[in-house]
Structure formats: structure tokens, C-alpha cells
Amino acid sequence: MKRLSILLSTILIVTVSAFGATKYGLKVGGVDVTSDNCTNVTGDNIKPNLSGEFYVKYDHSTKTLTLKNIRIERTGSGNRAVLNEDVDGLKIVFIGKNLLKAEDSSPVRLNNNTTITTQDSNQTEIIGGSEDAITVGDGKTLIFDHAYLQVSATKSSALEGNEGTETVIIQGGSDIGLSVLTEADSYTLNDLNLFKVDNSFVYILHWKDGNFATKVKSFQCIGDYMGIINGEYVASSQNFVCKEGVIGTDGSVIYICKAVLYNDTKYFPDKNFAQALSELSTTNTDYKNVLILPCGFNKGRVRFTTSLDLSFRNISSLKGIEFFTDLVELNCMSNNIANVDLSKNTALKTLNMSDNTLSSITLPQTETLTTLLLNNNLLTSVDLTKNTGLTELNVSYNNLMSLNVSKNTALTTLTANSNTVRTISLPQSTTLTTLNVNSNALTSIDVSNCTALTNLYIGENQLTALDVSKNTKLKEIECYSNRFTTLDFSKNSSLRKISCYYNQIYDVPSGAQNGESFVANLPNIYVNGFNHGDILFTTVTDANNLTKDQVSIAISKGWRMKFDDGTTYSGTATSAIEEVEVEDCDNDNAPRYNLMGQPVDDTYRGIVIQNGKKVLTK
């Protein structure tokens, strides 16, 4: 009789059909997981949450259920996303971004011991409606191990035990958010024997009657932990233990996290950096913008800190900045930082690393970064291809030899003067209004796709030609100290200031009428009897020159002609070249000077001054 009882029990426990597949005691989206479908569990309720690869798989040998980029949304009593009926020691692995949601039943019901983990930091959401988001079965244990999850319910608890003897453990650097989404008559945590946090971060949002939990017998946090409620510390000790009803005020938010002191050289080896962090954390009471709780585990982070001003602190290393993943603004100007890796700081919008000794920088690959100041450093290159949201960029006074901003179509201001840039790739942009590449080594530049430009600074380069016919909004241009023989601004009716001294704009007798061409292609901005524009055209040692008649033409078009110091320029009586002799200079050893007064040798071709005369050498 006893043997028959054992046999019947075995038949009841193990559901095996002689003619069908083995059921494993596990359902996903209402579909039984079996030996037939375990390598690819499909069903009407199992849908992709993102484009690309998605699947549900179960490995019976390791008791591992894997969901990748899956969305399951269900309604109706008893209709769940995941149900663990009979698998003791089940491991649920989430990959990518998943959504499990049920309106009328717990989307995740765990009747046996279960561990939940994730393979990356793309948070999975579990959302309950009128029942709890996750229900743990009688006396069982749920472990979150290295898991990134948001668990919430609209009308019930985020986490609930079935009879009050259950255990929930959050460990392994997990990052768990628990909340009730409305002011429902519910607690975030309910009917648990033990809620333990070990080397992990927990965010708890609650509404109910001044407590975030009811019938939770014990809270434990392992290690140096701090709790925050509405920006105020509630505990700081070796063992942060909260019993039922001890913490919480109506509508508050609770954060529980492992704490690391800023003088811990393992995480913050630069003493000046650590000292700055320590001072900021104790002097500022706005906890949402100040350092609170740097985490000591591998995936740790300093939460709440959205802004850091570390300027003028004599910092050499920013090691430890990788914990500050909520940073939106970081100011590190005027330090001694030679290299920095900000790849983990993906929330950054404003970054100021100016006036350091940077020779390399790794930027976060994110579109959120809008303002980037890297001026006055030692950079020879910078990769901006992933930072497509940039609106302001300053890389002036570095050692850049090339600059590629072709992907940065949102730029409004680009400052890259005082480098040695030989090539520049500009974006096709309707937003870039200011471009400064003064003092570089450019031999050409194409601004035709930057149709919103109002201010263009290209002085002190090696340019010989410029097309600004598409830049009809241009208001100011600096193009001094180049090799232009003439310039055409005929399409630039908004232009009001031109700085073009130290070029080669003059008429050559029996040759190019460059001065005549220059004034002919000035826009007419003469309005109501007033001159509205300024041209800083020449200097006392400059090659640029116009006749008085040509200056009169410029004035008649509304332009005030000036020397570079702002004094009035009236032009010469005739052409810029009063005397021209053509001779063979190879037979004359007298010193030669160009029109800027600089000595030149006998290989120089063009107009020189020799023996007190202007001479055209061929």
C-alpha cells in the first residue's frame, strides 16, 4: 500500500505524457514551458519590446529562464506574465529591456525559491495593477542578484509575501526601484519576514499612512549603509536595521545604499579630488545636487548628484568620477588633469574641462551632451562623432591638426582658434551661427552648408579663396592675414563688419584689377543717408590698397573704410603700385623687402621694394 502511495505521488508531481511533451511547471505569457518549446517559447502574449533580437528560452538542466527584449501585457484574473509553479531554484535572466505587465493578477508569481538577475543595465519593468507586481509564495525566498529592475503597482504592493514568512534579498550590486504609482491604499512592501539589502542600491517610493511597509518583520542592510528620506539622513551605522513602522513619512522617498568614504584611496586616489567631494557633501544641503552615497560595489554609483563644481582644486586625477552616473553638469576647469575617462557619465549635458593639461579624453557616447569646453589643453585629437547633440563646442588653444564635426549638426557655436588645424569637416547645418577658426593652418574651407552663419572668423590662415554666397545671414567676418587677392560679398546684404587687412587686395597695372573687383562686390548697405558697415582694410605696412575712387565707391555703398586701428582710410591717389619696373633681379644684389617690410631672397616672385622702388620680379 505504501509503495502504491509513493507511485501515485510520483505520477502527480511529475507531469509526463506518454504521447506528449514534458511540462516543466513554468508558464510564460500563459504558455506552458515544455520539453518541446523550451528552446523558443512563443505565444500570442509574447511580443518584442524593442526592434532586433527577442526570445524566451528555458534550460531545464540549469533551471534558467531567459527573456530578451520581451513585452508581455495581460488582463483578466489569473493571467500572469511569468508563473513559477514547481521549479525550486529557478533563475530568471533578463537581457536588454523587458516589460512584464498584468492588470488583474500579479504579473510575476513565484511559488518556489527564485533568483532574478540581468545581464546589462537596461532596466526591466514589472508593473502590477490591482494585484502585487511580484508575489512570493509561502515561505519562499526571492533573490535579486546583480539585477536592474523597476518594480511597481498602480493599486497594490510592489513586493508582497503570500503569508508573511517570505524573504526578499537584494544583493550583488543590484539597482532596484520599488514603488506604488498612485496614492492607493497600499504599501510598497507587504507581508514579508525579511527584507535585506546587501551591497546594492534600493529606491522605495511609498504613499500609505507614513510607512513604506506593513507586516515586514525585519529590515537588514549589510555594511556601511545610509538611508535617506526626503533628503534627510535616517540612519548611518554598521548595521542599518529598520523595524516595522520605524521609518517613513507620508509620501516620502527612501534610498538605501552602501556608503564609501571619500578618503578611500581605492575609489578616489587623488587627495584633492577626495577633499573637494568631502567638502561639497557636508556644506550643501540640497541633496539632489550634492554627493550623498557613493556605492562601494562594482556597479556602484553616486545617486542624486547632478552637478559638481571642481574648478581650481589642483586635481590631477578624476578616478572615481565613473561612480557619478547621474551627473548632468561637471566643471573641472583650471586643474592639472592630463587624461580623463568620462564614458560612464552618460547623463552629462554640460562639461567644462578647460585650462588643464589634457592630452586625451574619452567622452560619453551620448546625444545628451550639449556644451563641451576643452579650450587651453594639449589635445591633438578629439572624437565627437557620437556626441550629435552638441550645441556649443570650444577646442581653442590646443594642438589639433584636424577637426571633424560633420556629425554635429546641432552646433550653434564652434570655437577652434589657435590650433594647427589643416583640415576641417563642417556639418550640414541650419543652426551653426558662429564659427571661429582664427590662427590655424587652413588652406581651404567650405562653409556653403552652414547657411545660418552670422559670425565667421577665419583670420591668420593660408586661405586664397572663399565662397560665402550661401551665407546670406552673415553679419561679421574676420579674414585678415590670409592670401586673398579679392573677396566677393555681393550676396551678403546683412554684413556689417569686414576685417580683411594683411592680404593682397590691390590693382596690378596691366593686370588683375583686384581692388576694383573687391569694391564692386561689396553689398550696398547705404540706407537713409547713413553708412552702416565697417571695413578694417589695411595697415601702414600692408599690401592691401585701394584708389581714392575705389574708396569712394565703397563709401557710397554704406561702408566706412578704416585702417586696422580704426582710423579712417582714404585710399591712394591712383593705384596701390605707384611705380613698377620690370627687371632681371638676378643681377642686382641690393636687399629686397615684400610689401609688409619683411626681407626676402631672390627666389621671391611678386612685388618687392628694392633700391627704394617697387619692383615686379618675375
pLDDT at position 267, please? Answer: 73
Give residue 572's pLDDT.
84
Task: Please tell me the predicted confidence (pLDDT) of residue 524.
Answer: 93
In the 8-state DSSP scheme, what is residue 528?
A: T
Q: What Å distances lie between residue 131 and 1, 48, 114, 346, CA to CA?
A: 44, 24, 20, 35
d(CA 336, CA 276): 15
CA distances from 109 to 86, 113, 134, 137, 258 (A): 11, 11, 6, 7, 29
Highest mean pLDDT among 212-226, 311-325, 388-402: 388-402
Report pLDDT digits (tens) over 149-178: 999 898 888 999 988 899 999 988 788 888
Closest by CA to 585, choosing from 606, 556, 570, 565, is 606
Res. 468: pLDDT tops 80:
yes
The confidence score (pLDDT) of residue 585 equals: 38
In this prediction, residues 205-212 reach a mean pLDDT of 55
Share of the chain above pLDDT 70, in %: 76
Query: Is residue 98 predicted with pLDDT exceeding 70?
Result: yes
Grid-cell match 582664427, residue found: 438
State mean pLDDT over 286-314: 57
Q: Once rounded to an integer, what is the mean pLDDT over residues 104-118?
A: 96
pLDDT band at 616; cut points 50, 70, 90? low
Question: What average pLDDT does the segment 15-30 reach?
Answer: 79
The mean pLDDT of 442-448, rounded to a whole number, is 97
Q: Between residues 529 and 341, which one has the greater pLDDT?
A: 341
Question: Using CA atoms, how far apart are residues 614 and 593, in angstroms rounded to an integer?
Answer: 9
Q: Is the pLDDT of residue 13 over 60?
A: no
Q: Residue 258 in 3-state DSSP?
A: strand
% pLDDT > 90, the chain? 59
d(CA 542, CA 595): 6
| pLDDT tens digits along 492-514 | 999 999 999 999 999 887 678 89
C-alpha cell at 490: 555681393
Give residue limits of the domains in the chain.
Answer: 22-258, 581-617
Is residue 9 very low, low, confident or very high in pLDDT (cuts 50, 70, 90)? very low
Q: Note the pLDDT of residue 353.
A: 98
Q: Look at residue 4 and give its three-state secondary structure.
A: helix
The answer to whether residue 220 scores a pLDDT higher than 80 is no
Highest-scoring range by mean pLDDT, 56-65, 314-323, 526-535: 56-65
Higher per-residue pLDDT: 241 or 609: 609
Min mean pLDDT across 65-69, 290-294, 361-365, 391-395 is at 290-294
Distances (CA, A) of 74 to 81, 104, 118, 161: 7, 8, 23, 22
**CA-derived radius of gyration, the chain:** 36
Q: What is the mean pLDDT of the chain?
A: 82
Q: Which range is least confidently modeled, 109-123, 249-263, 405-419, 473-487?
A: 249-263
Query: Is beta strand 213-229 parallel, antiparallel or unpaired with respect to 253-258?
Result: antiparallel
Secondary structure percentages of the chain, helix, strand, coil, to 5 = 10, 35, 60
- Arithmetic mean of pLDDT, 518-539: 89
**For the chain, what's the residue count?**
618
Which pLDDT does position 534 carry in this prediction? 95
Contact by Cβ (8 Å): 309, 281: no
The letter for the amino acid at 498 is I
Average pLDDT over residues 395-421: 97
The predicted model gives 473-484 an average pLDDT of 97
Average pLDDT value for residue range 39-63 = 95
| DSSP helix/strand/coil, 3 | helix
Please tell me the predicted confidence (pLDDT) of residue 542.
83
What pLDDT is recorded for position 256?
A: 64
Tens digits of per-residue pLDDT, 556-597?
999 999 999 999 999 985 543 333 333 343 445 666 655 444
> 572 Cβ partners below 8 Å, 6+ apart?
545, 546, 547, 548, 578
